[in-house]
Amino acid sequence: MRITVFVKIFGIVQGVFYRKSTYDKATEMGLKGWVKNCEDGSVEAVFEGEESTVEQILDWCHQGPEKARVSGVEVSPMNTNDELVGFTIL
């Protein structure tokens, strides 16, 4: 089953290649969506794909790249509408 989730990641997640690493991982996994930095120092992302694959990227988000220090991850389900094309960094 395909699912879509909105994710907000907190901690030391900017300036540590979190967006680029997320892009690389999501692209490798065949997910659709996007990732971006927020003014409050967090990172937001949308992932769309098979439920098991989305669960794998969510597990990865709790750690992120080597220099990241994730303090929290909030996940909210979204309606899947098939408008997403590929994965991008915003």
Q: Is 55 helix (H, G, I), strand (E, B) or coil?
A: helix
- Spatial separation of the C-alpha atoms in residues 65 and 78, rounded to whole Å: 25
Name the active-site residue from 2, 37, 69, 79. 37
pLDDT of residue 68: 97
Cβ contacts of residue 43 below 8 Å, gap of 6+?
8, 9, 13, 14, 18, 19, 22, 35, 36, 37
Name the active-site residue from 19, 69, 79, 81. 19
19 is catalytic: yes
Ranges of each domain in the chain: 2-73
37 is catalytic: yes
CATH topology of domain 2-73: Alpha-Beta Plaits (3.30.70)
pLDDT of residue 80: 82
pLDDT tens, per residue, the chain with 90 residues: 999 999 999 999 999 999 999 999 999 999 999 999 999 999 999 999 999 999 999 999 999 999 999 999 999 999 987 788 899 999
